[in-house]
Amino acid sequence: MNAKQRLEIFERLAKAIPEPTTELVYTTPFELLIAVVLSAQATDKSVNKATATLFPIANTPEAFLQLGLEGLKSHIKTIGLYNSKAGHIMTLCQQLLDNHQGQVPKTREELEKLAGVGRKTANVILNTAFGQHTIAVDTHIFRVSNRTGIAAGKNVLEVERKLEKYVPKQHKKDAHHLLILHGRYTCTARKPKCPGCIIENLCEYKEKTII
């Protein structure tokens, strides 16, 4: 796939998805951070259901610590791995207070020092909360990048590096959400909706096996 084809793909996706953004519900960078930590191996829908009752009660590090571990668990027990996630979140909140005056840091290095935060989560926060041109490669982006030929790679870091290199500059800010939403609703895992797909004639999927 050449640069002209990649540009056309992102132009079409941007036209079809004029307001690409996360489907997680949040109002502050801290709420987004908590939601993203909770979303690991869970659906956005399940996270939104839990945070709909959690955030009105606690939406700052101080409030989370006051809520306590068991109080937090009571709100997120419908989410997978909630026990370990609750522990990470309580530690994360203390780290924010101890090291960042309760604010979410704006660098990958500092974000990745927080409990429960890896490279993918850090990239989501940097992009969605702070508008940086990062791309967090989740299962949707990994699948779409490989299937289409936009940025084929054997692992998420390889795909991320290629996307950073190949995504047209004017689309780098929104590429993360454009690819996620395309993967979530069109280029689905088991049965991609190729007929009617807006990038079908540019996609290399017909030459590949299902990923």
Active site residues: 120, 138
Instruction: Report how far residue 14's alpha carbon sits from residue 9's, in angstroms, rounded to the nearest whole number.
Output: 9
C-alpha R_g of the chain: 18
CB 174 within 8 A of CB 131: no
Instruction: Report how far residue 118's alpha carbon sits from residue 108's, in angstroms, rounded to the nearest whole number.
Output: 9
Residues whose CB falls within 8 Å of the CB of residue 172, separated by 6 or more in sequence, listed in order: 133, 135, 164
Closest CA to 25 of 14, 36, 17: 36
Measured CA to CA in angstroms, residue 127 lies from 96, 158, 176 at distances of 19, 19, 8
Closest CA to 102 of 151, 31, 42, 30: 30
Q: For residue 25, which amino acid is it?
A: V
Instruction: Report how far residue 187's alpha carbon sits from residue 143's, in angstroms, rounded to the nearest whole number.
Output: 8
Instruction: Report how far residue 139's alpha carbon sits from residue 141's, in angstroms, rounded to the nearest whole number.
Output: 6
